[in-house]
Structure 1
Amino acid sequence: MREVSSDCRVAWFLGLAGLIPFVAGGVIAWWGSSAWQVTAVYGFSYYSAVILSFLGGVHWGSALQVPRPDNRRRLFIAMVPSLIAWPALLFNVVTGLWVLLAGFILIGGYDLSRDGREGFPAWYFKLRGLLTGVVVAFHLIVLLRLGG
């Protein structure tokens, strides 16, 4: 049996803990009091933008750590999530959530590409797949609540 590194365990723990605001926001958007529903939806949107930007930072860090011929392209790609997340907050909340959802799907697709996978351990993509799946599902849950 292979031993799991402590970094892997910590990353899984933190990644799963990072889902709490998405899950809580989705649940409160449906079953919280009216005042809490509004707060939950906006909090969900803002947190979503922060996390989407963070995913770009993951690739930025990878490009700086591992010298590769395509690093310039990867650095540019690493900026895309932030350039999607920030304007998404300027739209009305429904449009913004659709834009953020598209951003998660796009960066998830890049993560699965040959270039996107380079430099990361295999376990990272299992974690990213699970996290992205939950995030996408909760975007759809909140959008359904908003009639979007």
Structure 2
Amino acid sequence: MLENATGRTLVTEEPRETPWLSVVFGYGPMLPFVAGAAAAWWQRGQWDELILLATILYGAAILLFLSGVRRGVSFRTEGGPTFMQIATMLGLFCLGLGALLTVVILGNRVIALDLLIAGFVAIAILDPIAARRGEAPLFFARLRPLQIPIAVLSLVALLVLKLMAPY
């Protein structure tokens, strides 16, 4: 790292392989989605609404966190943040916040799940593209297509459960 009167110059080397800590903190947070979907299906009629709510709130928190990750990465992008980084961050943030507000204020779990599914699908598609363009870590190109579908499939399972519910 070099510092001068106008700023700081960083020289880094980025591996293509996913660091082990990113594997742990990438796949670990996907487990509550699976647990939430499995528990809601298993506890149908008793606790499924509470489990569904908890999973939606967790999903909104993770989506909001990932919008912050996108913004954080933009601070270290060569040449400064790009339009796509900022647009993606804002889109993910709006979807996460929208899901949170929809379920808390309106009590509409279906729309909240739709918003979360859209946000996580966007991550699975856009993060590998961003990695190839130098707007996200290189390992996102390999991690996200395997990691994010875990959340998406779990949220879809919850949506199906909710749409099948007689109430």
TM range (shorter): 0.7 to 0.9
Contact 1:110 1:116 (8 Å CA) reproduced: no
In the other structure, the counterpart of 1:10 is: 21
Letter in 1 for 2:63: L
Secondary structure of the structure 2 residue equivalent to 1:90: helix
Secondary structure of the structure 2 residue equivalent to 1:67: coil
Larger Rg: 2
Structure richer in helix, relative to its length:
1
Per-residue displacement from partner, 1:10-56 (whole Å, max 9, x unpaired)?
Answer: 11012111112101100111002644312210011011111111221
Deviation at residue 125 of structure 1 after TM alignment: 2.3
CA distance in 1, matches of 2:96, 2:124: 14
Percent identity over paired residues: 26
Structure 2: unaligned runs, 5 residues or longer: 1-14, 103-107
CA distance in 1, matches of 2:24, 2:131: 26
1:103 is aligned to 2:90: no
With normalisation by structure 2, the TM-score equals 0.74
1:142 is aligned to 2:153: no
Letter in 2 for 1:109: I
In the other structure, the counterpart of 2:3 is: none
Aligned residues, how many? 145
Equivalent in 95, 109, 115 of residue 84 of structure 1: 95
1:129 is aligned to 2:145: yes
CA distance in 2, matches of 1:115, 1:127: 10
* Cα root mean square deviation, aligned: 2.6
Letter in 1 for 2:162: L
Contact 1:94 1:146 (8 Å CA) reproduced: yes
CA distance in 1, matches of 2:122, 2:35: 24
Structure 1: unaligned runs, 5 residues or longer: none
Letter in 2 for 1:99: L
Contact 1:59 1:74 (8 Å CA) reproduced: yes
Following superposition, which runs of at least 4 residues in structure 1 exceed 4 angstroms of deviation? 114-117
Deviation at residue 116 of structure 1 after TM alignment: 6.8
